[in-house]
Amino acid sequence: MITTNDFKTGITIIYEDTLYQVIEFQHVKPGKGGAFVRSKLRDLRSGAVIDKTFNAGIKVETAMIDKSEMQYLYKSGETHVFMNMESYEQIELHESKLQNELYYLVEGMTIIIISYGHEILGIELPDKVVLEVVETAGGAKGNTTSNSTKEALTNTGLKLSVPLFINEGEKIVVSTATGKYDTRAK
């Protein structure tokens, strides 16, 4: 158990039988009345973000979240198969648990599976991934200094803006946080 005074960004708590991760918090001490903690919490099961205000010093239960490194193997229908690199145990996750992460999953990549007890909450991707451009308008050779961009489609189905000099078949580095082009892959 911790008190709301111990909140830190990223800590996971159980409040009203729901798992929440603290996204932001602010201790407020008004001139009149008692102090309170204004917080923004993400429901780890549904992904919903709520604003919640706690009185200062209220006790909440912490949740022990497990993170294990796994390798993405393949897609089978609407499920995706991951393997623990140490025990070779395989787990399957339905597409509904992955949502936006699907656009960055490439066979063979290493990811982190986030779980609470035996319940899998989701995955954590690397900061950047290498994707292949499968469709884009014709390129412009030598046009490397312009800020002009064009639409491109990657092998995972992600649509994004890339510089004019990127052509079909090229590999690019994409930020998983923003979904934007970073650089050409080497």
Tokens of 123: 């995955």
Same domain, 26 and 46: yes
pLDDT bin (cut points 50, 70, 90) of residue 140 is low
The pLDDT mean for the chain works out to: 89
Identify the CATH number of the domain in which residue 49 sits: 2.30.30.30
Residues 118 and 143 in one domain: no
Collect all residues with Cβ–Cβ distance below 8 Å to 6 and sequence separation of at least 6. Answer: none
- The answer on 120 and 84 residing in a single domain is yes
Give the per-residue pLDDT at 45.
84
44 and 89, same domain (yes or no): no
Reported pTM: 0.73
Structure-model confidence comparison of residues 101 and 143, the more confident one: 101
Same domain, 57 and 12: yes
Considering 86, 107, 124, which residue would you say is the last residue of a domain? 124
Same domain (yes/no): 118, 133: no
**Radius of gyration of the CA atoms of the chain, in A:** 21
Q: What is the CATH number for 85?
A: 2.40.50.140
Residue 6 shares a structural domain with residue 58? yes
pLDDT band at 145 (very low <50, low <70, confident <90, very high): low
Whether residues 139 and 97 share a domain: the answer is no
Do residues 53 and 41 make contact, with C-beta atoms less than 8 angstroms apart? no
| Averaged pLDDT, 99-114 | 90
What pLDDT does residue 153 have? Answer: 94
CA-CA distance, 98 to 80, in Å (whole number)?
9
SS3 106: coil
Listed range (32-36, 44-48, 97-101, 135-139) with the worst mean pLDDT: 135-139
Q: Would you call 64 helix, strand, or coil by DSSP?
A: coil
Residue 120 and residue 134 share a domain: no
Q: Per-residue pLDDT for 62 more than 80?
A: yes
Across 79-104, average pLDDT:
89
Q: Tell whether 58 and 8 lie within a shared domain.
A: yes
Print the domain residue range for 138: 128-184
Confidence of residue 4 (pLDDT cuts 50, 70, 90): confident
Do the beta carbons of residue 21 and residue 2 sit within 8 Å? Answer: no
Secondary element (H or E) of residue 59:
strand 59-62
Residues 117 and 134 in one domain: no
Give 70's strand partners: 84, 111
Cβ atoms within 10 Å of 2's Cβ, excluding its own: 14
Three-state secondary-structure class, residue 36 = strand
Structural domains in the chain (count): 3
Query: Is the same domain home to 155 and 175?
Result: yes
